[in-house]
Amino acid sequence: MRVVTPEEMRELDGRATREFGIPEEILMERAGMAVAIACREILGAPAEVSRHIVAVVGGGHNGGDALVALRDLVSRGYPAAIVLMGSEKPPSQAVSRELDRLARMGVVPTQGVDSSFRHRISHAALLVDGLFGTGFRGGSLSREARELIVAMNRAADSGIPVVCVDIPSGVNGTTGAVSDVAVRGRRTVTFGAPKWGLLCDPGTRYAGDIYLSPIGFPRNLRDGGQLSCLLPHEANELLPVRPPAVHKGEAGHVLVAGGSPGKSGSVLLAARGALRSGAGLVTVLWDRSFGEAAASLPEIMTFPVDFATLSPREVFRFLPRMDAVACGPGVEEAFGGRALVESLLTDYPGPLVGDAGVFDLFAGNPEKMASSRRGPLVLTPHPGEMGRLLGRETATIVSDPLGSVREAAARTGAVVLLKGARTHVAHPDGRVSINLTGDPVMAGAGMGDVLTGIIATFLGQGLAPFDAARLGAFFHGRAGELLGTTSTRGRLASELADLLTVILSPVGGTAHQPPGFNRSQDPALFWPFPAPCPPSASFGGRQ
Ligand SMILES: NC(=O)C1=CN([C@@H]2O[C@H](COP(=O)(O)OP(=O)(O)OC[C@H]3O[C@@H](n4cnc5c(N)ncnc54)[C@H](O)[C@@H]3O)[C@@H](O)[C@H]2O)[C@@H](O)CC1
Ligand SMILES: [K+]
The residue nearest atom 13 of ligand 1, judged by CA position, is 135
The residue nearest atom 39 of ligand 1, judged by CA position, is 133
Ligand 2 centroid distance, CA of 264 (Å): 50
The residue nearest atom 23 of ligand 1, judged by CA position, is 136
Predicted confidence pLDDT, tens digits, the chain (543 residues): 999 999 999 999 999 999 999 999 999 999 999 999 999 999 999 999 999 999 999 999 999 999 999 999 999 999 999 999 987 788 999 999 999 999 999 999 988 777 788 899 999 999 999 999 999 988 889 999 999 999 999 999 999 999 999 999 999 999 999 989 999 999 999 999 999 999 999 999 999 999 999 898 888 887 889 999 999 888 988 998 888 888 888 889 999 998 888 888 999 999 999 999 999 999 999 888 888 887 788 899 888 888 888 887 788 887 888 999 999 888 877 677 778 888 888 889 999 999 988 888 888 999 998 888 889 999 999 999 999 999 999 999 999 999 999 999 999 999 999 999 999 999 999 999 999 999 999 999 999 999 999 999 999 999 999 999 999 999 999 999 999 999 889 999 999 999 999 888 754 444 444 433 455 556 567 777 777 877 764 443 444
Q: Check residue 347 and give its pLDDT.
A: 87
Q: Check residue 86 and give its pLDDT.
A: 85
* Cβ of 98 below 6 Å from ligand 1: no
Q: Check residue 508 and give its pLDDT.
A: 43
Q: How many CB atoms lie within 10 A of CB 509?
A: 6
Q: Check residue 524 and give its pLDDT.
A: 62
Q: Check residue 244 and give its pLDDT.
A: 82
Q: What's 258-326 look like in SS3?
A: CCCCCCHHHHHHHHHHHHHCCCCEEEEEEEHHHCCHHHHCCCCEEEEECCCCCCHHHHHCCHHHCCEEE
Q: Fold for domain 6-219? A: Rossmann fold (3.40.50)
Q: How far apart are CA 119 and CA 539, in angstroms?
A: 28
Q: How far apart are CA 5 and CA 83, in angstroms?
A: 28
Q: Write down the domain spans for the chain.
A: 6-219, 252-502
Distance (Å) of CA 39 to CA 183, 204, 360: 16, 20, 52
* Cβ of 65 below 6 Å from ligand 1: yes
Number of residues written out for the chain: 543
End-to-end CA distance of the chain: 33
* Cβ of 444 below 6 Å from ligand 1: no
Which atom belonging to ligand 1 lies closest to the Cα atom of 89? 37
Q: Fold for domain 252-502? A: UDP-N-acetylmuramoyl-L-alanine:D-glutamate ligase (3.40.1190)
Nearest to 480 by CA among 467, 491, 465, 466: 491
Tell which one of 19, 68, 136, 143 to mutate to probe ligand 1, the residue whose CB is within 8 A of the most ligand atoms: 136
Handedness of CA 331, 334, 335, 337 (dihedral sign): positive
* Cβ of 136 below 6 Å from ligand 1: yes
Please list all protein residues whose beta carbon sits less than 5 angstroms from ligand 2, which is an ion.
129, 164-165, 169
Q: Is the ipTM of this complex over 0.95?
A: yes
Q: How far apart are CA 471 and CA 465, in angstroms?
A: 10
The annotation status of 430 as a binding-site residue, yes or no, is no
Nearest 5°: phi and psi at 142? -70, 160
Nearest 5°: phi and psi at 305? -140, 175
Q: How many CB atoms lie within 10 A of CB 413?
A: 16
- For 93-149, the DSSP string reads HHHHHHHHHHHHTT--PEESSSTTHHHHHHT-SEEEEES-STT---SPPPHHHHHHH
Q: Check residue 543 and give its pLDDT.
A: 44
Q: How far apart are CA 57 and CA 166, in angstroms?
A: 13
Q: How far apart are CA 282 and CA 301, in angstroms?
A: 6
The annotation status of 368 as a binding-site residue, yes or no, is no
Nearest 5°: phi and psi at 471? -70, -40
Residue type, 184: R
